[in-house]
Amino acid sequence: MILCDVGNSRIHFFDGERVLHFLHDDGLNRFKDEKVYYICVNNRMRERIEVEAPGWTDISKTGALESGYSGLGVDRKALCIAVHDGVAIDAGSAVTVDVMENGRHLGGWIWPGISTFKRAYAQISPALDVRIDSTVSTQSLPLDTVSAVNFAVFAPIRTLVKRFAPDKPVFVTGGDASFFEPLFKGAVVDERLVFRGMEKMIKEIRC
């Protein structure tokens, strides 16, 4: 059984052992004839999959999650189902943060992704085109430009998580997950989290 998470910019597969990342065309061409269970937040890709990979099974509408959030993306839903209790951070093209308590989704928020922040600063001024580094201190006011940029990116993330979920464990996934590990002591970084949620969603189908 192969699991697939179709994102806005890339497509990700889990074969039970490894997580594989592709551009949309490459991933679809490689696995289109396989038995795949997938979730998708990209409507254009969903239309292509229905035509080019008719054997794939869309599980986006499965999986019970108690939440009052309107419009929660299925990738966030799967991540929340996997986490169950704690803070779920998906650091991809956008950075999403969701707070879970004993299987109940309390709410969450969305930031631009790290690469978007970096491009935005570079467009303002070449002087702001600096290395993004989450190990820069967020505990004291910055005294240089590199620290100032990184403080502005990461301090709000750390502060809001501590504000709304001060005692909860933090779980991080996504291509930029490594940036977030230094921000939260004991953070669990696992690129398979969304797929673990998908596995629980599939069990619901089979019951």
How many whole angstroms separate alpha carbon 4 and alpha carbon 19? 9
| Alpha-carbon radius of gyration of the chain | 18
Q: Known catalytic residues?
A: 75
| Interatomic CA distance for residues 103 and 177, integer angstroms | 23
Residues 6+ apart with CB under 8 A from 44: none
Residue-by-residue DSSP string for 56-119: -EE-TT-S--EE--TT--HHHHHHHHHHSSEEEEEESSEEEEEEEETTEEEEEEEEE-HHHHHH
Taking residue 126's Cβ as centre, other Cβ atoms within 10 Å add up to 9
For residue 53, list its beta bridge partners. none
SS3 labels along 62-79: CCCCEECCCCCCHHHHHH
